[in-house]
C-alpha cells in the first residue's frame, strides 16, 4: 500500500522505526568491533578497507570524502594500513601526479572473513523468522536504502 501525497506516515510509527534502526545499527557496530578484536585493524581501518573492497582503488581525497574524515586523518589511517601490508599506494598510470590507494590480498582476506562472520551472526539472529518474513525484511530494507540514496 503506497501512501497518497496528502497522507502522512503516523509520527509514532516513524519514531519507532527510527529508534529500532538506531538500536540495530548500534548492535551491529558493537558486534562488528568484537569481531575485529581478532584482527590487526581498527574499526576506522575496517571501514576504509570496506570502501576499497567495494569501490576499488581511490585517492586519499576520495576515501576521506566517503569516510567523512579530514584528509590528514585519512593519510594517517592509510599509513598504518600500508605498514601492516593491507594497502599500498600506487601511481595512477594515466596521471603520475595522482596516487591511489590499492587494497592488497591481506586486506581483502580480512574484509572477506569479517563480512562472512557478520553474515553468520545475522543468520543466527534470523533463525526464528519465517522465509516470508525474511524476504519481506530484505525487500523493505532494499527499498529504504534506495529511497535514502
pLDDT value of position 40: 86
With contact defined as beta carbons under 8 Å apart, do 101 and 63 qualify?
A: yes
| Burial letters 122-147, b for 16+ CB under 10 A, else e | eeeeeeeeeeeeeeeeeeeeeeeeee
Per CATH, which fold does 30-148 belong to?
A: Arc Repressor Mutant, subunit A (1.10.10)
Q: Quick check: 16 pLDDT over 70?
A: yes
Please state the domain extents for the chain: 30-148
**pLDDT tens sequence across 81-139:** 999 999 999 998 899 899 999 999 999 999 999 999 999 999 999 999 999 999 999 99
Q: Quick check: 6 pLDDT over 70?
A: no
Q: How confident is residue 29, by pLDDT bands cut at 50, 70 and 90? A: confident
pTM of the complete model beyond 0.85 = no
With contact defined as beta carbons under 8 Å apart, do 64 and 71 qualify?
A: yes
Amino acid at each position: 500500500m503506497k501512501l497518497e501525497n496528502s497522507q502522512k506516515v503516523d509520527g509514532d510509527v516513524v519514531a519507532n522505526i527510527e529508534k529500532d534502526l538506531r538500536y540495530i545499527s548500534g548492535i551491529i557496530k558493537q558486534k562488528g568491533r568484537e569481531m575485529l578484536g581478532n584482527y590487526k585493524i581498527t574499526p576506522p581501518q575496517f571501514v576504509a578497507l570496506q570502501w576499497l573492497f567495494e569501490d576499488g582503488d581511490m585517492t586519499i581525497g576520495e576515501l576521506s570524502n566517503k569516510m567523512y574524515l579530514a584528509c590528514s586523518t585519512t593519510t594517517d589511517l592509510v599509513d598504518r594500513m600500508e605498514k601492516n601490508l593491507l594497502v599500498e599506494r600506487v601511481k595512477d598510470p594515466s596521471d603520475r601526479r595522482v596516487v591511489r590507494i590499492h587494497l592488497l590480498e591481506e586486506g581483502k582476506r580480512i574484509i572477506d572473513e569479517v563480512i562472512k562472520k557478520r553474515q553468520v551472526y545475522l543468520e543466527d539472529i534470523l533463525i526464528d523468522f519465517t522465509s516470508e518474513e525474511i524476504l519481506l525484511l530484505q525487500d523493505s530494507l532494499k527499498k529504504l536504502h534506495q529511497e535514502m540514496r
